A = this chain, B = another copy of it.
Amino acid sequence: MTRYRIVVVTGNVNKKREIELILSDFGESFEVLTEPSLRKLEIQADQVEDIARAAIENIARVVKPRSSTYIVVEDDGLYIEALGGFPGPYSEYVYRTIGLRGVLKLLEDVDNRRAVFKSALGVYTPSGKIEVVCGEVSGYIARELRGSGGFGYDPIFVPDGYDVTFAEMSLEEKCRVSHRARAFRELGKLILSGSLA
């Protein structure tokens, strides 16, 4: 059995832990490595798909394909319906500046709390092809911060079918339904089926 290397361009240990857990569903098929030193060029664009594609294209210019090795950049964002898609692709900067309390303030007295968490993976395959694989989960924004697990927007996002936030779930529970889990599981399936060579 081939064991594939998934090299994720990130310095975020929380993401790494989640990806390892998600891909462990496939037994020993995948080894997850992180590569924080490759430059992840993030462009400004409304859709995380476009940002992930540009980032992996940029990496493909400086890296050679390697047998059984997939290089992956993830871009994700929380798109809140009543806020026109805010904070979307700029979720990280918004988190660092106005924070979760700022986002909740924008939704004070707003009944429509629908939101979609999106993850897009830019993938550079062993044969040197570029692909984008996406995952998303719909849900709603809680009225207040709840839970201490996870990271980022997890304390305010409740996925459909649950009444707890991502931050109130165990890592295992979150990784059953999260946008990131859906994207990486799709990636795993595509690789194992041979359609992402």
How would you classify the secondary structure of chain A's contact residues: helix, strand, loop or mixed? mixed
Q: Does A97 contact B (CB under 8 A)?
A: yes
Chain A residues 68-103 with CB under 8 Å of chain B are 83-90, 93-94, 96-99, 102
Q: Does A105 contact B (CB under 8 A)?
A: yes
Query: Given A98-B83, A102-B83, A106-B106, do A93 and B41 touch, yes or no (CB 8 Å)?
Result: no
User: Which residues of the partner chain B approach A108 to less than 8 Å between Cβ atoms?
Assistant: 105
A44–B46 touching, CB < 8 Å: no
Q: Does A20 contact B (CB under 8 A)?
A: no
CB-contact partner of A86 in B42, B44, B84, B102, under 8 A: B102
A86–B98 touching, CB < 8 Å: yes
CB-contact partner of A97 in B41, B83, B93, under 8 A: B83
Q: Does A38 contact B (CB under 8 A)?
A: no
User: Which residues of the partner chain B approach A88 to less than 8 Å between Cβ atoms?
Assistant: 93, 97
Given contacts A43-B43, A84-B99, A105-B105, 13 further A-B contacts (CB under 8 A): A41-B43, A42-B43, A42-B44, A43-B44, A44-B44, A44-B90, A44-B93, A46-B93, A83-B98, A86-B93, A86-B97, A90-B90, A106-B106
* 24 sampled A-B residue pairs with Cβ under 8 A: A41-B43, A42-B43, A44-B51, A44-B89, A44-B93, A46-B93, A83-B97, A83-B98, A84-B96, A84-B97, A84-B98, A84-B99, A86-B93, A86-B94, A86-B97, A87-B97, A88-B93, A89-B93, A90-B90, A90-B94, A98-B106, A102-B106, A105-B105, A106-B106
